[in-house]
Amino acid sequence: MHYQTAYRWVRSGQLVAVKVGAGYEISDAAVALLQAQRNATERLPGGAVDHQAAEPAPAVDDGLQLLDLMVDAVTLDSTAVAERATRVAADHLGDAAFLYRGSAEHVTVVYAAHRDPEAEVAASTLGRDPRTSTNLVRRSLASGETICVPQVPQRELRRRLHPELHEHLHLCGCYSAVCAPIGRTGVLLVTRDLPGRPYTNEDASFIASIASRVARADERARSWSNAWELRRAAVAALAAPTFEGNCFQALLESAGPDEQDGVAEPGLAVLDLDLQHVACSKGYGELFGEDATRLERASLRSLVRDGCALDEALAPVLVGEIDFRSVELEIMGDDARLALHVAMVRRADATPRGIVVVAHSVPSLTSG
């Protein structure tokens, strides 16, 4: 071979060489080690199983429908959706699926799944080791694009894995890969254990659709967290024995249409016990397509498409069963769907003082 080839192997660490004087010596054992490692890249994993042929995956539509139901149930935490989405990706497309969280500079595996339980342990070990390369994942997150690598060069794969981890490749290999970004906070990666079944553009679209559901769940959690934080502040201000109108007015003025972390700030309003608006923020009015001043004395029922659904949802609050309630309803004159976070504010003797409503738009599948 050309001496530059040997030099490149030595520099990359594939071939062990010992510096002696002005030159290098390479032992027979070093050559044998290199040859064994190169042979391993050409050999199929001994313990690998064609999981797709061994057992059929559940129906794809059932998996996506289940994810949609979970996404619509998210309030403050999207962890369960992210974990189930990783499982759906592994079961329906597989073989392994990894969910990364972080930034384009640094990402870590927070969940790993595999169609085979034993291989799942190996996959988790490979993915979570800090020495495992994340270049492909970070590139997908930085670009915001789904990246498909139909054929992963095995010599390149082994070069990017620490030698301590090579033994796990007999259970969980990587012959094809797809990365799909999850908004700006993570990436969903799927890999094939065996050659001969490279991912297609259709597979990449499927993974992107799962990642978009996780992104929507994340956005819902951020929206709900912001709304509940504003609701707590409004309740505390309105319930204070030394309540001052100017203090609450400052809250109304701060609740606007600006965005934070890609999520629009929620709107705030105060209603009387008949659900008529007493005061509301500019951002609250914009959500309903109205000027805030025009909403004063207007009934909340007149702003939603289904007044009966509103009454039914808020009945437990109005009768005193609970003091907090969140509901999603469509508004009049538009197909927009809003989330309303309601709180009954009471005086020290438990008599109602008024109703606080925090509103924001419901994240869609495309918004994440």
Relative to beta strand 96-102, strand 186-192 is antiparallel
Residue 232 tokens, joined: 């707590």
For 299, which DSSP code? Answer: B
> Are 328 and 301 in contact, with CB atoms under 8 Å apart?
no
State yes or no: pLDDT of 363 exceeds 70: yes
Mean per-residue pLDDT of the chain: 86
C-alpha triplet 127, 100, 60: angle, nearest 5°:
95
The letter for the amino acid at 119 is A
pLDDT in tens, 31-40: 887 787 777 6
Give the confidence band of 340 by pLDDT, cuts at 50, 70, 90: very high
**Residue of 256 and 356 predicted with greater confidence:** 356
Q: How many alpha carbons fall within 13 Å on the CB side of residue 46? A: 4
The letter for the amino acid at 205 is S
CA–CA distances in Å: residue 59 to residues 19, 89, 93, 244: 59, 12, 11, 58
Query: What percent of the chain is predicted at pLDDT more than 90?
Result: 48
Tell me how far apart the alpha carbons of residues 284 and 263 are, in angstroms, rounded to a whole number.
15
* Nearest by Cα to 266 from 196, 358, 181, 341: 358
Tell me how far apart the alpha carbons of residues 338 and 367 are, in angstroms, rounded to a whole number.
14
* Nearest by Cα to 283 from 253, 327, 247, 246: 253
Give the confidence band of 332 by pLDDT, cuts at 50, 70, 90: confident
Task: State the pLDDT at residue 259.
Answer: 59
Residue 167 tokens, joined: 């033994």
Query: Mean of the pLDDT values across residues 282-294?
Result: 88
Task: State the pLDDT at residue 5.
Answer: 83
State yes or no: pLDDT of 49 exceeds 70: no
Least confident of 35-49, 123-137, 295-309, 344-358: 35-49
Least confident of 25-29, 100-104, 174-178, 179-183: 25-29
The letter for the amino acid at 100 is Y
Residue ranges and CATH numbers for the domains of the chain are 1-43 (no CATH), 50-217 (3.30.450.40), 240-361 (3.30.450.20)
Task: State the pLDDT at residue 368.
Answer: 42
* Nearest by Cα to 306 from 332, 344, 270: 332
Least confident of 27-31, 91-95, 127-131, 256-260: 256-260
pLDDT in tens, 98-135: 999 999 899 999 999 999 999 999 899 999 999 898 99
Task: State the pLDDT at residue 367.
Answer: 45
What stretch of H or E contains 348? none
Query: CB under 8 Å to 164, separation ≥6 — which residues?
Result: none
The residue assigned the tokens 């927009």 is: 336
Tell me how far apart the alpha carbons of residues 89 and 207 are, in angstroms, rounded to a whole number.
7
* Nearest by Cα to 154 from 262, 258, 240, 39: 39
Handedness of CA 120, 116, 215, 329 (dihedral sign): negative
Task: State the pLDDT at residue 158.
Answer: 83
Task: State the pLDDT at residue 51.
Answer: 52
State yes or no: pLDDT of 137 exceeds 80: yes
Q: What residues pair up with 98 in beta bridges, in sequence order? A: 112, 189
Phi, psi at 346, each rounded to 5°: -120, 150
For 44, which DSSP code? Answer: P
> Are 361 and 286 in contact, with CB atoms under 8 Å apart?
no
- 3-state SS assignment for residue 355: strand
Task: State the pLDDT at residue 339.
Answer: 94
State yes or no: pLDDT of 222 exceeds 70: yes
Neighbours of 364 (CB within 10 A): 12
Q: What is the pTM of this model?
A: 0.81
Task: State the pLDDT at residue 264.
Answer: 65
CA dihedral 286, 288, 293, 299 (to 10 degrees): -160
